Structure 1
Amino acid sequence: MTSLRSAPQVSASTTFSDYAVTTATRLLGSAGVDVDQGIRALRRMLSPWGARRIGTRPGWHSDVCADGSPIEFSAAFSREGLQVRALVEALPDRSDPSSAQKAARALTRGLTRDFGAADDRLAEVSDLFLPDEDPTGFAMMHAAALTPTGGPEFKVYLNPNANAGTSGIERTRAALDRLGFTKAWTAVREYAARGFDLDRIVYFGLDLTDGPESRVKVYFRHYDASPAELDARMEISLQHEAGFLGAFCRQLTGSDSEVRAQPLVSNLTFTAAGGDQPVSATLYVPLWLHSASDRTVRDRVSSVMRELGLPVGSYRTLLNQMARRPLSSGRGIHTYASARVQHGRPRLTTYWSPELYDRYPPARYQRG
């Protein structure tokens, strides 16, 4: 296991590519993933903006991490294997939404050209999520999933609230309709039974792959929701195991009540093979405001993984590759942990910020 002290240090003069490639090399090597293939994909995702210096504050406050960092690494653990992921938001030349759209489109074209990413479904809805008139917020985030077997698989996350001309509700419903999931809106509306103000649609996800298992995801941010209440609503999915996600949330936050400091996030996943019923539901528990330090989070995650029979040692090894400081001296590395039951088996993912700008990031996405 690599010690914490060997993790590369980062300064304002370090480039995004230097940080990301060095960190990914460590993560992929520890996970047994083809390093060369993974780094090739990551370099493409960072081109050309990765050549910029990180600086002392974000020029474009990215939606990727709580502190505005535009890069996030994560690892998914299951009994079948390990997957390492990288998420980025292509930084625009200028700090405005139109420039962000241009950068996002260019990255998508590059992934399609260089890696064969399938952008047909994205093309069907791009005018909805990348509007020409008065765009607001982020444009698109891109992720790559890397495993010990097979090549990288890409996905995108789109902004339902891309401008004020169309609501996130209307935009999401229209996108589902265009993609052949018209009846899936019934499940979305039922899931947000408290209303879309409290169960707010915040992301629309698409796999850049073809086939009946290619996923369409609708993400929600839940305000004033208890773990037990959300767990019960997740029974709408075909694979949900009652009580599992509620207990998962309680163990990670240390609370049975509404998660108020930072709202819970979830998604419903649809595939052509599954039809109009969600094939799975995933809960994302925010971690950085629910503990005193990343050491506490590490211990909580380790405890949950032991109970689930998941590889605690692998998680701790990868965390050590991420951390550039003692875990007790901040609480910004762990951003979220997610879980779902897949074919009767648990799958847990931990998400890590590079802390390029803040090791004690403030709350984000507060209601109103």
Structure 2
Amino acid sequence: MTSAQLPDEISDLSAREETAKTFGQFLEEKWTAVCRGLATDQWETETVLEDLREVLHPWGARPVGTRCEPPSFVSADGFPAELSVSWKAGRPEVRILFESLGTDGTPLGCQEAGRELTRRLAGRPGTDVARYLDIEDLFITSAPDRYRATIWHSLAWRPGKRPHYKVYLNPQVQGLDRAYDVQAEAMRRLGLAEAWEPVGRRGEELAERGHELELMALDLDGGDTSRVKVYFRHLPMQMGELDTVAELAHRYEPARAARARAVIYGRDNGAVSNEPMTCLAFREGAPGPQEANVYLRLPDNTGSDEEAAERIARLMELEGIDPRPHAEILRQLTEGQPERAGALQELCSYRTISPEMPADIGVYLRFSTYTAPRPEH
């Protein structure tokens, strides 16, 4: 009997086993499966798992259950974490993005748990939270909205290196109409007012064209060269319009990006309605955004997770990146799972650094842990 023919009771049992685990157990298993797919050193993998356990504490000890309260904006089903793998110059990096859960099941509790974690990270080697503390007051509120970002974090690890951390903040925290004011003040305090200016002065135009300012991320690395990344969500629009934000970046290559879109979307024109994203990266001393990372959404765009994997593999091959580790990651994550377990690959990211180098390509993995979708905000 093939996995597509598994009876309902076996499929349901698999789902019950997953939701009976703690968040920490669930995410450690997924992280370990990704690392097996990349054939990372087992001792190194175990060492980084210690870091993962610490950043998920204390909420990582809770059962996953059948829903997350409050539902997180990280994932469509409300699950508070996603994993991703990025190939930079052909070398993989494993990341986890998550929202810390508070003790009271409220968005305010999640916000306060995120603030507390940021302060705990201050003691990590190479980690500095001073720049975050300079802007924190702009991104907190006494009444955070449900189904929106509070204060999120990510842990990123490249084999052979120490983990790096980022904090993610919500410019819409004081309302969508004030998002550009909040972002501009944050950039001023971070010494990036000049770099932000060519983007900020076009804010009204970008919003009218359907490019919504949604998130910012701050590297928590020491030194003045750490990045600030600003994310835009693209509402339904024509495919060519997706370049509007990315073309503000110095190193963006429209022709290569158009090729990547054609591969991932299976076409080179028409409307795009599944809300892809673009991220602009800023560093102190630069006159504007240096790089643009486009995030192309896969569900509702491909017929199956297998088709999504084939398109990602094709894009990797075009960029001279070996697609076999990506295939092995998927095999490790889906081994023993029913075929109808749901789409695993949520986003494919694409960023060009120079015409001579392969693009950075990332795959974002979400696990369809809960059966009920997250309510819309």
Same fold per superposition (TM over 0.5): yes
**Structure 1 residue matching 2:173: 3-state secondary structure:** coil
Query: How far apart are the structure 2 equivalents of 1:134 and 1:165?
Result: 15
Deviation, 1:148, is 1.3
Partner of 2:94: 84
Query: How far apart are the structure 1 equivalents of 2:335 and 2:32?
Result: 15
What TM-score comes out, normalization by structure 2 length? 0.87
What TM-score comes out, normalization by structure 1 length? 0.89
Is contact 2:69–2:106 with CA below 8 Å preserved after alignment?
no
Partner of 1:4: none
Confirm or deny that 1:168 pairs with 2:179: yes
Confirm or deny that 1:199 pairs with 2:211: yes
Query: How far apart are the structure 2 equivalents of 1:86 and 1:106?
Result: 18
From 358, 362, 368, the equivalent of 1:355 is: 368
Is contact 1:59–1:95 with CA below 8 Å preserved after alignment?
yes
Partner of 2:259: 247
What is the aligned-residue identity percentage? 27
Deviation, 1:66, is 1.8
Query: How far apart are the structure 1 equivalents of 2:58 and 2:25?
Result: 13
Query: How far apart are the structure 1 equivalents of 2:149 and 2:46?
Result: 30
Per-residue Cα deviation, 1:146-196 (whole angstroms, up to 9, x for no partner): 111210000011011113497111111110111111122322136657432
Alignment of 1:63-78 (within 5 A): 63-78=73-88
Per-residue Cα deviation, 1:284-334 (whole angstroms, up to 9, x for no partner): 111122123211111111111111111200111112222256685254311
Confirm or deny that 1:215 pairs with 2:224: no
Query: How far apart are the structure 2 equivalents of 1:331 and 1:182?
Result: 43
Confirm or deny that 1:230 pairs with 2:205: no
Partner of 1:3: none
Per-residue Cα deviation, 1:236-269 (whole angstroms, up to 9, x for no partner): 2121112122221222122422211x21210110
Partner of 2:9: none
Is contact 1:118–1:209 with CA below 8 Å preserved after alignment?
yes
Query: How far apart are the structure 1 equivalents of 2:202 and 2:350?
Result: 18
Deviation, 1:20, is 1.1
Query: How far apart are the structure 2 equivalents of 1:185 and 1:172?
Result: 9
- Over 3 Å counting, the alpha-carbon distance change for 1:264 and 1:166 in structure 2 is closer
**Structure 2 residue matching 1:349: 3-state secondary structure:** strand
Partner of 2:279: 267
From 11, 21, 35, the equivalent of 1:14 is: 21
Query: How far apart are the structure 2 equivalents of 1:52 and 1:28?
Result: 24
Deviation, 1:355, is 2.0
- Over 3 Å counting, the alpha-carbon distance change for 1:252 and 1:162 in structure 2 is same
Confirm or deny that 1:182 pairs with 2:193: yes
- Over 3 Å counting, the alpha-carbon distance change for 1:165 and 1:254 in structure 2 is closer
Is contact 1:322–1:352 with CA below 8 Å preserved after alignment?
no
From 288, 292, 296, the equivalent of 1:281 is: 292
Q: How many residues align?
A: 356
Partner of 2:11: none
Partner of 2:33: 26
**Structure 2 residue matching 1:139: 3-state secondary structure:** coil
- Over 3 Å counting, the alpha-carbon distance change for 1:148 and 1:84 in structure 2 is same
**Structure 2 residue matching 1:155: 3-state secondary structure:** strand
Is contact 2:184–2:200 with CA below 8 Å preserved after alignment?
no
- Over 3 Å counting, the alpha-carbon distance change for 1:15 and 1:238 in structure 2 is same
Which structure has the highest helix share of the two? 2
Alignment of 1:95-114 (within 5 A): 95-114=105-124
Query: How far apart are the structure 1 equivalents of 2:376 and 2:321?
Result: 30
Query: How far apart are the structure 2 equivalents of 1:293 and 1:95?
Result: 34
Deviation, 1:40, is 1.3
**Structure 1 residue matching 2:312: 3-state secondary structure:** helix
- Over 3 Å counting, the alpha-carbon distance change for 1:232 and 1:203 in structure 2 is closer
Confirm or deny that 1:151 pairs with 2:155: no
Partner of 1:301: 312
Is contact 1:71–1:354 with CA below 8 Å preserved after alignment?
no
Deviation, 1:364, is 6.4
My pick for the range that moved more, 315-324 or 283-292, is: 315-324
Query: How far apart are the structure 1 equivalents of 2:188 and 2:254?
Result: 30
Is contact 2:86–2:360 with CA below 8 Å preserved after alignment?
yes
